[in-house]
């Protein structure tokens, strides 16, 4: 759903930055798009992944949940909010309002009802075009699953997938217990 009601022009990055930080919006080709608020299981998975990443990532990397990433800074800008991103500590120390795609090593999307096509088709295409090296797709339907992709010649190629406890080597050695991803405790 677009949220440009009452707007007679494309939204610039300066206008985007002037909006409240807690907006449930993404900017696609200069057009505002309303993003549904995440349901509790989705939010739990998002927070848990970011926490697990920070516990396991090497010293030069850190994770953030729900931050703006500029995929295209042209006159028709695109700003997405991946569920979780991994960036360099150097990029994080700059304390940006938003990260550039070049700062992002990994973007993770957790599929929610209503976001299936965007998370499985649109966003990976945009992330690949922006040069984000790794893309993960988490499906919360039982059994919870993870599919990882690596950018090869400008296109995401399947790297690894699984359920249960998944041990990954890229973008860093990580162990993700998908059975615990949405557990309450």
Burial bucket for residue 143 (CB in 10 Å: 0-12, 13-18, 19+)? exposed
pTM confidence score: 0.92
Continuous segment of H or E residues that includes residue 5 = none
Burial bucket for residue 98 (CB in 10 Å: 0-12, 13-18, 19+)? middle
Please spell the DSSP secondary structure of 84-153, one letter per residue: EEEEEHHHHHT--SSEEGGGEEEEEEEE-TT-HHIIIIIHHHHHHHHT-SEEEEEE-SSSPEEEEEEEET
What's the pLDDT at 3?
Answer: 54
Residue 5 binned pLDDT confidence (cut-offs 50, 70, 90): very low
Residue 7 binned pLDDT confidence (cut-offs 50, 70, 90): low
Write out pLDDT tens, residues 96-140. Answer: 889 999 999 999 999 988 889 999 999 999 999 999 999 999 999
What's the pLDDT at 42?
Answer: 93
Question: How far apart are alpha carbons 93 and 135 in whole angstroms?
Answer: 23
Question: How far apart are alpha carbons 64 and 68 in whole angstroms?
Answer: 10
The predicted model gives 54-64 an average pLDDT of 96
What's the pLDDT at 38?
Answer: 86
Question: How far apart are alpha carbons 44 and 30 in whole angstroms?
Answer: 31
Tokens of 78: 């695109």
The C-alpha torsion from 118 through 123 and 126 to 129, rounded to 10°, is -130
- Judged against a pLDDT cut of 70, whether residue 6 lies above it is answered with no
Report how far apart the first and last C-alpha atoms of the chain are (Å, whole number).
34
Residue 155 binned pLDDT confidence (cut-offs 50, 70, 90): very high
Residue 154 binned pLDDT confidence (cut-offs 50, 70, 90): very high
Are 175 and 38 in contact by the 8 Å Cβ rule? The answer is: no
**Measuring CA to CA, which residue among 166, 148, 168, 167 is closest to residue 158?**
148
């Amino acid at each position: 759903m677009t949220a440009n009601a009452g707007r007679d022009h494309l939204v610039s990055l300066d206008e985007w930055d002037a909006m409240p930080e807690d907006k449930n919006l993404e900017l696609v080709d200069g057009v505002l798009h309303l993003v549904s608020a995440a349901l509790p299981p989705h939010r739990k998975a998002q927070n848990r992944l970011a926490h697990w990443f920070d516990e396991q990532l090497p010293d030069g990397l850190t994770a953030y949940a729900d931050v703006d990433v500029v995929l295209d800074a042209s006159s028709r800008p695109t700003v997405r909010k991946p569920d979780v991103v991994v960036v360099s500590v150097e990029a994080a120390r700059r304390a940006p309002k938003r990260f550039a795609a070049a700062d992002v090593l990994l973007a993770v999307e957790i599929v929610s009802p209503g976001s299936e096509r965007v998370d499985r088709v649109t966003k990976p295409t945009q992330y690949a075009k922006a040069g984000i090296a790794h893309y993960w797709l988490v499906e919360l339907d039982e059994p919870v699953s993870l599919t990882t992709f690596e950018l090869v010649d400008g296109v995401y190629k399947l790297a690894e997938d699984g359920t249960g406890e998944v041990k990954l080597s890229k973008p860093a050695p990580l162990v993700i217990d998908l059975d615990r991803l949405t557990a309450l405790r």
